Amino acid sequence: MTATVHRLDSPAGDPRPQPSLGPLMALIAGDMNMVNAVILDRMRSQIPLIPELAGHLIAGGGKRMRPMLTLASARLIGYSGTRHHRLAAAVEFIHTATLLHDDVVDGSDLRRGKRTANIIWGNPASVLVGDFLFSRSFELMVEAESLKALQILSGASAVIAEGEVNQLTAARRIDLGEDRYLDIIVAKTAALFAAACRIAAVVAERGEAEEAALDAYGRNLGIAFQLVDDAIDYVSDADTMGKDAGDDFREGKVTLPVILAYARGSEEERKFWKDAVEGRRDTDADFAHAVDLVRRSRAVDDTLARARHYGQRAIDAIAMFPASPAKDAMIEAVAFAVARAY
């Protein structure tokens, strides 16, 4: 199946169809069935709460983009084995574990439009089931019989944790700065995207050039993905986002739209942002004012422009690979990630 490749700078009102994950999902459907079977098998436990709570999130409507990228990357380089199935499942378990922990730390109420596990079962259960999933992910890594893949995914897990701590220590600090913000999202989001893609080249025993290309594709896609997520907190709604609009604002998260709006604001506007980040302006009216400020300062527009920049870098990273349905689908996946805000 050949995907349609979309330019990342297509103008508003472009008559061409919106990019989607459809080509990518069709490409790896058979492999994804195998990965899903591994996931269901390894969620089993004699403690009923574990599969119940884990299943709530894993079956909660997520697209499983990270394991899909592992499978697509394997297709891109022509790998025909099965070792990547366990690694793709490990990637999903790592991601799910971090979501469980994130929701506890953030006190989130919604995840993909559903009540979060910590709201239903409580914080202790969510943390402990997250730990269980991390343990399962390391079992799967060992079973894939690749020390290098184990190093890459375990390293990514450590980087994600560092990113979470970095974000925690930067919470409610209006002076965060764009550089530190980028460090946080590279660690929290992009590191797992990069690892998910790179491990395909490792188990296929490809060279360093292929590994580096897939790592760069995943890393830049992950940055673009998170930039769009942060932007749509100010331009979307709960049905589209799977969480309440303004959650980042009310939690005092300093994301790029806030950093840019604060830097460009008047003295009065900068005081508003400082008060908001420090928890003194969190009503619906305050959020509406924040939305107006980020729009008038073009903070959202420029955040999305940066997302398109990193998306293009992701596409450029796989230019070395020959044309194929897998390459087309991976390019369209980038276009989809960026177009979610429109």
Rounded to two decimals, the pTM is: 0.91
Query: Which pLDDT does position 5 carry in this prediction?
Result: 44
Q: Comparing 3-17, 55-69, 186-200, 249-263, which segment has the lowest mean pLDDT?
A: 3-17
* Phi, psi dihedrals of residue 237, rounded to the nearest 5°: -135, 175
For the chain, helix (H) and strand (E) counts, in that order, are: 18, 2
Which positions ≥6 away from 160 have C-beta within 8 Å?
A: 94, 98, 187, 188, 191, 192
pLDDT tens digits along 202-260: 999 999 999 999 999 999 999 999 999 999 989 876 455 445 678 889 888 999 999 99
pLDDT above 80 for 62: no
pLDDT tens digits along 278-322: 999 989 999 999 999 999 999 999 999 999 999 999 999 999 999
Interstrand relation of 114-115 and 110-111 (parallel, antiparallel or unpaired): antiparallel
- Residue 92's nearest CA partner among 202, 224, 196, 219 is 196
Mean pLDDT across the chain, nearest whole number? Answer: 89
Query: Which pLDDT does position 58 carry in this prediction?
Result: 78
Contact (Cβ atoms closer than 8 angstroms) between residue 303 and residue 340: no
Mean of the pLDDT values across residues 323-330? 97
Q: Sign of dihedral through CA atoms 117, 122, 127, 131?
A: negative
Distance CA 149, CA 196 (A): 10
Which positions ≥6 away from 34 have C-beta within 8 Å?
A: 82, 85
pLDDT above 80 for 341: no
Tokens 């990228």 identify what position? 69
Distance CA 53, CA 129 (A): 7
- Residue 185's nearest CA partner among 271, 97, 104, 259 is 259
Q: Comparing 8-22, 290-304, 326-340, which segment has the lowest mean pLDDT?
A: 8-22
Radius of gyration of the chain (CA): 20
Which positions ≥6 away from 121 have C-beta within 8 Å?
A: 49, 53
Most confident by average pLDDT, 61-65, 110-114, 145-149, 232-236: 145-149
Query: Which pLDDT does position 235 carry in this prediction?
Result: 83
First to last CA, the chain: 26
Instruction: For domain 22-339, give the fold.
Output: Farnesyl Diphosphate Synthase (1.10.600)
Mean of the pLDDT values across residues 73-94? 96
Query: Which pLDDT does position 3 carry in this prediction?
Result: 42
Query: Which pLDDT does position 2 carry in this prediction?
Result: 42
pLDDT above 70 for 13: no
Q: Strand (E) positions, the chain? A: 110-111, 114-115
pLDDT above 90 for 57: no
